[in-house]
């Protein structure tokens, strides 16, 4: 029932919503608080207003009026005399505006003075009633003040209702986006796992190399959206090897020239596979270029310098770092210090010298920490929190 009400409210304009609210409150009697130090005036006002069907109470001074408002903060209207002994009508108006902002106030006075009038409205009263006034004038002012106040309250309810709807929808949208992102990540993880099944030697390599690439990218100040694209590309860099025949992919010895040529096709194959997937289209550029060298000696297109996408230039360093610091069937892993020295040696030929400079300034211990974290990362993440 609650949900249905919200759905209806959401499609109504403020005036329609206000009308609906009034219909939902049959028999509601508006409460008016009269404040005047003169008993005869209080009595007359109470009689006139009660006669018009209002629920009326009275206070003989501002302090008593404030006590009554504390007990009845939903009071519909305060009708206050301006000149009273002690706390006057203006001070009472200020206190009500501060502590009971939703309660409208009408000031009445015998002072026909423009400064009194401007001060009354500037301090937040909804109307000014000049003495002497007759019954019709009193009821007219009260009726307009209540109408004005009701509209403000109903607009406020309508606004809060809209805010709740927007907040609920934003929350649902955020949840859906999170689910979608998780699905993307699981898709990536599954593609990486499919490759691992075929090439056991590279198990965990994808996660480590992603972690190293992202650490370098962060050091260069790359924004979060681009980091995610680079992470996807780094993680899937060798996905094209799914199309490489087992006899070549798993061959223990040295590859022939023809086999090397087939093996090298994995960059293009990976690009062709991943480029068709909309959320991976940008990442496919890294996959395509992940074996390019800075001096143009790489493959498949022989790109050089900044022709090579930035992500691929970062990846090239990360890939070499991981290859050198991982055990291989034909050799034990080298230290990170040895790998760093080799990468420094290949600056300007295999690697972008600007990125090598940043890489060499990064602390040695970072890579060992990232290696350990990536090896222990759970399924469903691809080793890096972006």
Please state the closest distance from residue 291 (CB atom) to Fe ion, in A: 6
* Contact between 255 and 263 (Cβ < 8 Å): yes
Please state the closest distance from residue 348 (CB atom) to Fe ion, in A: 22
Please state the closest distance from residue 266 (CB atom) to Fe ion, in A: 6
**108-114 own/partner pairs: CB under 8 Å, 24+ apart:** 108/79, 108/80, 108/81, 108/82, 108/133, 109/81, 109/82, 109/83, 110/83, 111/82, 111/83
CB-wise, 238 or 352, nearer to Fe ion? 238
Q: Which stretch binds Fe ion (CB under 5 A): 143-151, 234-242, 245-253, 358-366?
A: 234-242
CB-wise, 238 or 292, nearer to Fe ion? 238
CA distances from 46 to 32, 141, 241 (A): 9, 15, 91
Closest CA to 345 of 331, 356, 358: 356
CB-wise, 211 or 249, nearer to Fe ion? 249
Q: Which stretch binds Fe ion (CB under 5 A): 143-151, 211-219, 230-238, 359-367?
A: 230-238
CB-wise, 100 or 237, nearer to Fe ion? 237
Please state the closest distance from residue 290 (CB atom) to Fe ion, in A: 6
Question: Residue 242: CB partners within 8 Å, gap ≥ 6?
Answer: 194, 195, 198, 269, 273
Going residue by residue from 24 to 53, which x/- string records binding to Fe ion, judged by CB under 5 A?
------------------------------
Going residue by residue from 271 to 310, which x/- string records binding to Fe ion, judged by CB under 5 A?
----------------------------------------
DSSP type of residue 303? -
> Burial code of 67-76, b = ≥16 C-beta within 10 A, e = fewer?
ebbeeeeebb
Q: Which of residues 117-136 bind Fe ion (CB under 5 A)?
A: none
Please state the closest distance from residue 236 (CB atom) to Fe ion, in A: 10
Q: Which stretch binds Fe ion (CB under 5 A): 18-26, 212-220, 233-241, 333-341?
A: 233-241
How many residues make contact with Fe ion (CB under 5 A)?
Answer: 1
Please state the closest distance from residue 167 (CB atom) to Fe ion, in A: 47
Task: List the beta bridge partners of residue 78.
Answer: 33, 105
CB-wise, 127 or 352, nearer to Fe ion? 352
Q: DSSP readout, 56-114?
A: EEEESSHHHHHHHHHH-TT-SEEEEES--SSS-HHHHHHHHHHH-TTS-EEEEES---H
Q: Which stretch binds Fe ion (CB under 5 A): 38-46, 125-133, 209-217, 237-245?
A: 237-245
> Burial code of 34-46, b = ≥16 C-beta within 10 A, e = fewer?
bbbeeeeebeebb
User: Using CB atoms, what's the residue nearest to Fe ion?
Assistant: 238
CB-wise, 189 or 238, nearer to Fe ion? 238
CB-wise, 36 or 238, nearer to Fe ion? 238
Task: List the beta bridge partners of residue 347.
Answer: 351
Question: Residue 195: CB partners within 8 Å, gap ≥ 6?
Answer: 202, 206, 238, 239, 241, 242
* Residue 238 touches Fe ion, criterion: CB under 5 A: yes
* Residue 322 touches Fe ion, criterion: CB under 5 A: no
CA gap 37, 86 in Å, rounded? 10
Q: Which stretch binds Fe ion (CB under 5 A): 31-39, 101-109, 231-239, 330-338?
A: 231-239
CB-wise, 124 or 300, nearer to Fe ion? 300
- Residues forming the site for Fe ion (CB under 5 A): 238
């Amino acid at each position: 029932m609650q949900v249905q009400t919200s759905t209806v409210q959401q499609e109504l304009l403020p005036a329609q919503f206000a009308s609906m609210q009034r219909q939902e409150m049959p028999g509601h009697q508006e409460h008016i608080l009269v404040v005047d130090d003169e008993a005869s005036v209080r009595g007359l006002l109470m009689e006139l207003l009660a006669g018009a069907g209002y629920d009326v109470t009275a206070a003989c001074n501002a302090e008593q009026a404030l006590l009554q408002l504390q007990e009845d903060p939903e009071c519909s209207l305060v009708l206050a005399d301006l000149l009273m002994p002690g706390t006057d009508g203006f001070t009472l108006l200020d206190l009500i505006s501060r502590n009971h902002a939703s309660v409208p106030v009408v000031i009445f006075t015998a002072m026909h003075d423009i400064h009194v009038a401007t001060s009354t409205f500037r301090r937040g009263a909804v109307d000014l009633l000049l003495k002497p006034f007759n019954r019709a004038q009193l009821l007219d002012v009260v009726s307009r003040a209540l109408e004005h106040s009701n509209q403000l309250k109903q607009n406020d309810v309508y606004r809060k209702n809209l805010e709740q709807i927007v907040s609920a929808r934003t929350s649902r949208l955020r949840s859906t986006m999170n689910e979608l992102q998780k699905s993307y990540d699981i898709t990536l993880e599954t593609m990486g796992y499919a490759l691992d099944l075929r090439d056991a030697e590279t198990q965990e390599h994808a996660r480590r190399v992603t972690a190293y690439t992202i650490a370098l990218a962060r050091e260069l100040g790359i924004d979060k959206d681009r980091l995610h694209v680079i992470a996807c590309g780094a993680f899937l860099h060798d996905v094209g090897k799914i199309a490489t025949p087992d006899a070549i992919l798993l061959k223990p010895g040295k590859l022939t020239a023809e086999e090397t040529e087939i093996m090298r096709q994995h960059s293009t194959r990976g690009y062709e596979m991943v480029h068709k997937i909309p959320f991976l289209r940008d990442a496919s550029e890294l996959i395509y270029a992940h074996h390019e060298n800075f001096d143009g000696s790489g493959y498949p297109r022989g790109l050089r310098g900044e022709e090579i996408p930035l992500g691929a230039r970062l990846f090239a360093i990360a890939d070499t770092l991981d290859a050198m610091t991982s055990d291989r069937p034909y050799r034990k892993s080298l230290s990170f210090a040895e790998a760093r020295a080799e990468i420094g040696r290949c600056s300007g030929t295999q690697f972008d010298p600007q990125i090598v400079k940043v890489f060499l300034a990064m602390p040695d211990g970072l890579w060992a920490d990232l290696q350990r974290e990536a090896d222990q990362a759970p399924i469903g993440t691809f080793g890096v929190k972006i």
